[in-house]
Amino acid sequence: MISLKINDKDIQVQDGATILEAAKTCDIYIPTLCYLENLKPRGLCRVCVVEVEGAKNLVPACSTPAAEGMNVKTNTRRVRESRKMIVELLLSEHNGECTTCERNNDCELQKLARDLGIEELRYEGEKTPSHIDESTPAIYRDTGKCIKCRRCVEVCQGVESVGAISPQSRGFDTTIAPAFDHALSDVTCVQCGQCAAVCPVGAITERNYIQEVWDVLDDPEKYVVVQTAPAIRSALGEAFGLEPGTPVTGKMVAALKELGFDGVFDTNFTADLTIMEEGSELLSRLTKVLRDGGQADLPQFTSCCPAWINFAEHYYPELLKNLSTCKSPQQMFGAVAKTYYAEKIGVAPENMVVISVMPCTAKKFESQREELTDSGYADVDYVLTTRELARMVNQSGIVFSLLEDQKMDSPFPESSGAADIFANTGGVMEAAVRTAYKIVTGRNLPTDKMHLKNIMDLEGIKEASLKIEDPVKEWSFLDGAELNVMVIHSLANVRKVLKEKDISKYHFIEVMACPGGCISGGGQPRFTDNNIRQKRIQAILTEDEGKEIRNSCENPFIQQIYAEYLKQPLGERSHHLLHTEYFE
């Protein structure tokens, strides 16, 4: 342990802690800009400078280790004036059109300028040139707003191990961009949007489809339905000032109805459907190998995270055959809406428009894939992020916090607790295990065994096994078998697993690109405090635990769609509408 003083307070911290971390332990606030929890601090922007007794220069708190006997002051005149000048210099180059910027009122630079008392621009410099990149359906980049903090670079390289963007040129001419100023669509960007999630200003964000959605809502010829992803309800409230981790499913439905959607549905319903198909697919692969002594591509990997699919296509094409053939719940919903539902309500599928609200930017890309058009039309027409939905709510003058809860529409009004947890790392795995166990043994997992060990905590690589005991006759060959599963989040961890582990002993592996799963997808309300991740995870767990039905195969509306339309998992209609293949 190390003892030091910060602002005359005695503090003890572990060896290796930085001054910033030490200050946090006693609630002393030091402003930061380039710093991000979990990533190696760079001390680049120097907004977090503090004064250390005996040191000639101010030091950055984020990258300076606390030392025994150190005496730190975070709030002297010299510190305040230095921070102010650093931000003034950033502003001197920055495109200052705040009122029309998407980040207006949600911009870390704007907040710092306000907090540091900057009321006039003392320095006028040459503005950073603006180059707009809209080459992908997911990401929008404007170099003119970039302050070169490099958070995006760190995340793209450190968390996702993609390295699609990096500093180009030098000095004032530095831009953060793909090498040789290529467009993002020409490099191996997986469109995860984690760069957009950490950008403190308006330089990287999602491609915005709000106007397209208003246009179809205003078109009397169109029947417009919306689906909402499992993760958005754990975070949407934050955009309206509610406490992080406040679940807002009922208010979200009410807001979507007020916005004018003709049908408001839940991607959670098709998350249940995915489990029926993906669980059955896993059991079929296991049967081929364990009962028939044949060949099947194991482990089976989940296929619902579109950034992970992009990553596999770019870097591990040999694994594509191991991906589940299931479309993601988003795409299953679109396919079912434009066939089963359109037929049920007598709407021509060409007049039906399917909008998704997703926590994710890569879902925008996924919806435009040519493979995903099995209804004869694009399964999904437009994808909005959670942030875009919040903006539409604000544009309509709806007061979100005053809305009365409403329910999802029929014929997909309910989903199981298993579908809720899709939002969390480990959730798809746990949901699949719940259903597979029920199919094989005829019994539900006991409530106290429903959460598999540590499968939903924030470790990047987790493993669990489940022993099959007393299976029903059809599955007797699995008696005593151990089902070995692994859960990975953040794509850098995929590389680590493939390098360091023998994956042949696992049967099923879940991969999600974003840290913590979709709850911190690239389209969610932005945050810098890591505790928010945990609060969102907990909100989702509370939804699951409050549900009477916590197993996808027990959802009566899932049973109904099989009885009326799909007939059976992996059947002919399912095969046509709900499955796809990704080729090398």
* Positions in the binding site for ligand SF4 (CB under 6 A): 139, 155-156, 160, 162, 164-165, 189-195
Judged by CB, which is closer to ligand SF4: 162, or 428? Answer: 162
Pick the closer one to ligand HC0 by CB: 137 or 521: 521
Residues 222-251 that bind ligand HC0 (CB under 6 A): 229-231
Instruction: State the amino acid at position 209 in one-letter form.
Output: Y
Considering only CA atoms, which of 520, 196, 216, 186 is closest in space to residue 380?
A: 216
Interface residue with ligand HC0, options 517, 522, 525, 569 (CB under 6 A): 517
Tell me the residue type at 373.
T
Nearer to ligand SF4, 160 or 409 (CB): 160
- The amino acid sitting at 512 is M
Q: For residue 56, count other CB atoms closer than 10 A to its CB.
A: 6
230 binds, among ligand SF4, ligand HC0, none (CB under 5 to 8 A by kind): ligand HC0
Please pick, from the candidates 509, 518, 537, 558, the single residue that binds ligand HC0 as defined by CB under 6 A.
518
Binding mask 361-380 for ligand HC0 (x = CB under 6 A): --x-----------------
What lies within 8 Å, CB to CB, of 509 at 6+ separation is: 299, 300, 301, 302, 485, 486, 487, 488, 503
Q: Which residues are marked as active site?
A: 278, 281, 304, 324, 363, 366, 371, 518
Considering the complex, state which of residue 93 and residue 160 has its C-beta at the smaller distance from ligand HC0. 160
- Answer yes or no whether residue 263 interacts with ligand HC0 by CB under 6 A: no
Phi, psi of 333 (to 5 degrees): -60, -45
With CA atoms as reference, report the closest residue to 197 among 238, 256, 249: 238
Minimum CB distance to ligand HC0, residue 228 (Å) = 8
Residue 279 interacts with ligand HC0 (CB under 6 A): yes or no: no
State the binding partner of 336 from ligand SF4, ligand HC0, none, CB within 5 to 8 A by kind: none
Choose the contact partner of 329 out of ligand HC0, ligand SF4, none; CB within 5 to 8 A by kind: ligand HC0
Choose, by CB under 6 A, the member of 33, 309, 358, 450 that binds ligand HC0.
358
Q: Which does 191 bind (CB under 5 to 8 A by kind): ligand SF4, ligand HC0, none?
A: ligand SF4
The three-class DSSP label of residue 321 is helix
Q: What is d(CA 310, CA 305) in angstroms, rounded to the nearest whole number?
A: 9
State yes or no: cis peptide before 31, omega within 30 of 0: no
Nearer to ligand HC0, 286 or 431 (CB): 431
| 330 belongs to the binding site for ligand HC0 (CB under 6 A) | yes
Question: CB under 5 to 8 A by kind: which of ligand HC0, ligand SF4, none does 229 bind?
Answer: ligand HC0
Angle between helices 77-93 and 108-115 (to 10 degrees): 140
The nearer residue to ligand HC0, 200 or 230, going by C-beta atoms, is 230
> Which residues lie closer than 8 Å to 562 by C-beta, 6 or more apart?
276, 568, 569
Nearer to ligand SF4, 155 or 358 (CB): 155
User: CB neighbours of 581 closer than 8 A, spacing ≥ 6?
Assistant: 325, 371
Are 1 and 12 a contacting pair, CB within 8 Å?
Answer: yes
CA distance 267 to 258: 19
553 binds, among ligand HC0, ligand SF4, none (CB under 5 to 8 A by kind): none
Please tell me whether residue 474 adopts helix, strand or coil conformation: helix
Query: Does 84 contact ligand HC0 by CB under 6 A?
Result: no
Q: Please pick, from the candidates 305, 418, 532, 541, the single residue that binds ligand HC0 as defined by CB under 6 A.
A: 305
Query: Which range binds ligand HC0 by CB under 6 A, 3-11, 191-199, 355-363, 559-567?
Result: 355-363
Smallest separation (angstroms) from ligand SF4 to the CB of 342: 33
Residue 517 interacts with, from ligand HC0, ligand SF4, none (CB under 5-8 Å by kind)? ligand HC0
153 near ligand HC0 (CB under 6 A): no
What's the CA gap between 229 and 259, in Å, rounded? 17
Distance CA 459, CA 455 (A): 9
The span from the CA of 262 to the CA of 256, in Å, is 9
Omega within 30 of 0 (cis) for the link into 411: yes
Residue number with CB closer to ligand HC0 (352 or 432):
432
Please say whether the beta carbons of 331 and 271 come within 8 A.
no
- Enumerate residues 6+ apart whose C-beta is below 8 A from 208: 102, 140, 388
| Residues forming the site for ligand HC0 (CB under 6 A) | 229-231, 267, 271, 274, 304-305, 328-330, 358-360, 363, 422-423, 428, 517-518, 521
